[in-house]
Structure 1
């Protein structure tokens, strides 16, 4: 039995691992969300606890995990992303086992392979964020739910509650999966004992996650950047759910779970597990986003598990009809999918695949820091450039900072009052400004003060736009000959500015 399980999940897990390791350093780049992980993971557990009381509580457990990873294996781009790679591989392997349990071995293997190929899964398998780990724990919780329904056991229900809770602590949007499981329970109509045990397990997980949920509501300003729901997003959700719904009509999707004797109800099948898992998280978050914009694909990444399960059934059905050539169907299908998605896959592994690159901006500062004595950030969140690469900022005084990020329990520190910022700026000869490319934008009085003083009392000597961030050098009076005029923007720099 164990050998059979290994043969089912090995292919998907190995494929996901290979895709995750391929170009894992992304041309030695790190974007702003990963920069938050990097700086938080370098703090002590007490400092992380202090921080999450004010910001990023939804990532508190993940930061603690990454703190341990860095302590054990050292800090690097590989150790930053390797936990996500391993989590994605685990998720694909578990998806294969889940599909085999609910349908057939071929359907399970195909489902795991399908999940590994999904571009969004490949993307977040290579990010130093929590979403791949959430994906793995949601799949584990779903597998334990099916196992507990087939053979009620206290340990399985406890494991289900624990997996659901860990997923919620990593990101409480994963509780959409719990709602999907509720829909599955309604469709299955279990006996009283199973229903009561599920309610108890689900209630325990929600109750234990409630402190994180309530605290995050006080930090809701962190998601103020999310744009209102667009028609392209709505269309994408509708297409995904429609494909999943069509696949539920296949006989293998609606058969008894694995056609095994221990399946307690004919209603427990792949369709009633997979379709809610695909539809409920996406549709639920989309409906909420009509009132409060919150829809970001990575928040419900685990919804692709439901789609992958149903695609697995589709491929298994085709394989059954092919006959003698069925053995080569899955390898051929995976190869064709990877080739069709190759342009996307190649781009995901470049520095241009994310909105910015903190490391390139820091290196640019390092090239001009010897001619300056101060540095400013607009907005203050761009201070992560220095927090990730402090060596490149050696000798530069942070002219606006009143209290550092660690001491203040924040990610960007606390800046001084506008008049103090102006006084510090006027005491500097040359200032490096790290900001976003494009038109000047300031959302706070402090940033408006920085812009005003730079415009009125300083001359811009050079500007470099590199991978989504802009580094400018300002001087009081005339520019030093080494500063030159504004540097011409390269094609990649112009694309970064437009992005």
Structure 2
């Protein structure tokens, strides 16, 4: 038994293990409770198509998420498309991010306290917790950037191509998962500059050309995504407002999902920057966390398209976690150093430990009221897309041959048709009213609306009608030609049910 126990003990002693375990537990808690919201529905409707249909769709929309959709296509083929199955990859990815955060902190600060503390702190921000259980690419990108930071540090210490290779893979995966993540190169360049300054005059000057080459190699696989995504940016990003200077100042609160949690991280970061130890490494991390944010803000301010959104820059939070862990480690080391051999060193070490634990616990305590907010049924969508509620109402009153009409065209962004369809049982399949082509045939996320409503009404006697918003006049929320046709053929709705973001009505020609 003993030889078998030793490998387990060594594994549990690794600084990355417990952060990864804790992040898995935090991300997995009530994983299936929040309903899928429209972005997650987009993941489902794309990932579950045939490979050919998926590739054709990417030529028209969502190419920037193409690599993630391909990964999810493979995943759902094996594990299915339940809510839990769709979200598990994000849980695992964020657990990987926590592991790389711990490894990065250990390499930069040389302290187990800093390493384990940094990894555990990553699980604290509510936004990290939320996107750890969302079927989108943000957790994967966060993990890839955290890995790239760790591999970059290894390459800087010994710049062989064998060490540059994993950095290139991680950066390529991050860029293909979300193009905005490549803004981290600005922070990495600053990290490189401070590394060369710290190691002078023995600094390896080859880094000055090897780093740009590694970045260029990482960018090559991303170029097709850039070319396709640039043609689709107006359709997908036009809704993001141009950021203000005030928005930049308060961005930390949005990025973390909690002002108190962000300021607790900032306090720990100040300790890393102020206390003796490894201040230069702390500055490297601060630049790694902040320069991508400032860069994206400037591009969004000066360009035609804005990219300044909290979840787009979620990948910067691991650098903050490493920096905060460094602050905890610096505090522990500073108080421990005050212990004198003749004056109860154990007591001083105990005090250092208590202070460090208290500061590490501060963000967690501040985050506790926020964490349940990302675990209830409508937490991912703010109850604005009650797809499950609509599906339950339709299923309860469904008759064979019923039709369904849902927002399409200019309102297809709401993903109401595929969202409700996801939650309908397999034996409940209403006739698609006002649909010219299915989403698969249209090579889009939602079905294509019929230009002549009368041609696509069908002969159904009852229609389940979905409109956006809560209203007592659902026909008034429809396109004029469709509403007029339904009034003529069906009259007033038989019953109207506002669901909180959607209104469901039943039109019955026989009543």
Measured against the shorter chain, the TM-score band is 0.7 to 0.9
Q: Per the alignment, do residues 183 and 446 of structure 1 end up closer, same or farther by CA in structure 2, a change over 3 Å counting?
A: farther
Q: Per the alignment, do residues 441 and 100 of structure 1 end up closer, same or farther by CA in structure 2, a change over 3 Å counting?
A: farther
Q: Which residue of 2 aligns with 1:250?
A: 274
Within the candidate set 286, 296, 308, 1:275 is matched to: 286
Structure 1 residue 79 displacement after superposition: 1.2
Contact kept in structure 2, 1:372 and 1:431, CA below 8 Å: no
Q: Which residue of 2 aligns with 1:72?
A: 78
Q: Which residue of 2 aligns with 1:492?
A: none
Note the 1:319-398 alignment, pairs <5 A. Answer: 319-320=332-333, 321=335, 323-327=349-353, 333=359, 335=361, 337-355=363-381, 356-370=385-399, 373-378=402-407, 379-380=411-412, 381-391=415-425, 394-398=428-432
Q: Which residue of 1 aligns with 2:32?
A: 25
Within the candidate set 406, 431, 454, 2:440 is matched to: 406
Note the 1:29-44 alignment, pairs <5 A. Answer: 29-44=35-50
1:141 aligns with 2:148: yes
1:433 aligns with 2:465: yes
Contact kept in structure 1, 2:392 and 2:424, CA below 8 Å: no
How big is each residue's C-alpha offset from its partner over 1:283-328, in whole Å with a ceiling of 9 and x where there is no partner? Answer: 2222233343322211110111121112112222333326214445
Farther off after superposition, 35-44 or 326-335: 326-335
Contact kept in structure 2, 1:365 and 1:393, CA below 8 Å: no
Distance 2:13 2:49 in 1: 39
Normalised by the size of structure 2, how large is the TM-score? 0.82
Structure 1 residue 231 displacement after superposition: 7.0
Q: Per the alignment, do residues 425 and 10 of structure 1 end up closer, same or farther by CA in structure 2, a change over 3 Å counting?
A: same
Contact kept in structure 2, 1:107 and 1:315, CA below 8 Å: yes
SS at match of 1:460: coil
Q: Per the alignment, do residues 395 and 307 of structure 1 end up closer, same or farther by CA in structure 2, a change over 3 Å counting?
A: closer
Q: Which residue of 2 aligns with 1:459?
A: 492
Farther off after superposition, 227-236 or 36-45: 227-236
Distance 2:277 2:57 in 1: 46
Structure 1 residue 63 displacement after superposition: 1.3
Q: Which residue of 2 aligns with 1:497?
A: none
Structure 1 residue 61 displacement after superposition: 1.2
Q: Which residue of 1 aligns with 2:204?
A: 191
How big is each residue's C-alpha offset from its partner over 1:326-367, in whole Å with a ceiling of 9 and x where there is no partner? Answer: 445565555554343222111201112122343232222223
SS at match of 1:184: helix
Structure 1 residue 16 displacement after superposition: 0.6
Q: Per the alignment, do residues 251 and 147 of structure 1 end up closer, same or farther by CA in structure 2, a change over 3 Å counting?
A: farther
Note the 1:198-237 alignment, pairs <5 A. Answer: 198-220=211-233, 221-229=235-243, 233-237=247-251
1:107 aligns with 2:131: no
SS at match of 1:219: helix
Q: Which residue of 1 aligns with 2:343?
A: none
Within the candidate set 45, 55, 59, 1:49 is matched to: 55
Contact kept in structure 2, 1:403 and 1:414, CA below 8 Å: yes
Structure 1 residue 188 displacement after superposition: 2.8
Structure 1 residue runs without a partner (length 5+): 256-266, 481-499
Distance 1:185 1:196 in 2: 11
SS at match of 2:97: helix
Distance 2:188 2:358 in 1: 33
Q: Per the alignment, do residues 394 and 183 of structure 1 end up closer, same or farther by CA in structure 2, a change over 3 Å counting?
A: same
* Count of residues in Structure 1 that have an aligned counterpart in Structure 2: 460
1:294 aligns with 2:294: no
Distance 1:253 1:56 in 2: 46
Distance 1:441 1:224 in 2: 30
Normalised by the size of structure 1, how large is the TM-score? 0.83
Contact kept in structure 1, 2:64 and 2:176, CA below 8 Å: yes
SS at match of 1:168: helix
Q: Which residue of 1 aligns with 2:338?
A: none
Structure 1 residue 64 displacement after superposition: 1.3
